[in-house]
């Protein structure tokens, strides 16, 4: 009877590790498109796409792209995981 409980423990550990990895990298939870202008002298709007990612520390919004039309901004995609993690691994410089 001990073998099935070890499998559940291993599965639980894998789930916790994957959740931790995802929350460190940032899991996509949504996006929104915002109309913006460069200045009052340049009234032509452009559209910015913001992607929202869930981290250990909360939700962070990242500006991903700007397009000339709303349809083009909607077509641009957000990565499922953010590129930069919250917790960075420190690398030592090699002494060679």
Strand order in the sheet with 27-36: 27-36, 46-55, 58-67
47 inside domain = yes
- Asked whether residue 56 is assigned to any structural domain, the reply reads yes
Give me the number of domains the chain comprises.
1
CB atoms within 10 A of CB 46: 17
Question: How many angstroms separate the Cα of 24 from the Cα of each of 31, 36, 59, 85?
Answer: 19, 31, 12, 5
Dump pLDDT digits (tens) for 55-94.
888 888 888 777 788 888 888 888 888 777 767 666 666 6
Q: What is the pLDDT of residue 14?
A: 94
- Whether 68 is in a domain gets the answer yes
| Residue 58 placed within a domain | yes
62 C-beta neighbours (distance < 10 Å), count:
17
């Amino acid at each position: 009877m001990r073998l099935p409980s070890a499998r559940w423990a291993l599965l639980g550990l894998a789930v916790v590790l994957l959740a931790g990895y995802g929350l460190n990298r940032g899991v996509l939870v949504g996006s929104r498109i915002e109309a913006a202008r460069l200045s009052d002298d340049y009234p032509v709007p452009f559209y910015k796409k913001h992607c929202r990612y869930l981290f250990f520390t909360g939700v962070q919004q990242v500006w991903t792209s700007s397009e000339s039309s709303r349809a083009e901004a909607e077509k641009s995609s957000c990565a499922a995981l953010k590129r930069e993690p919250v917790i960075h691994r420190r690398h030592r410089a090699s002494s060679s």
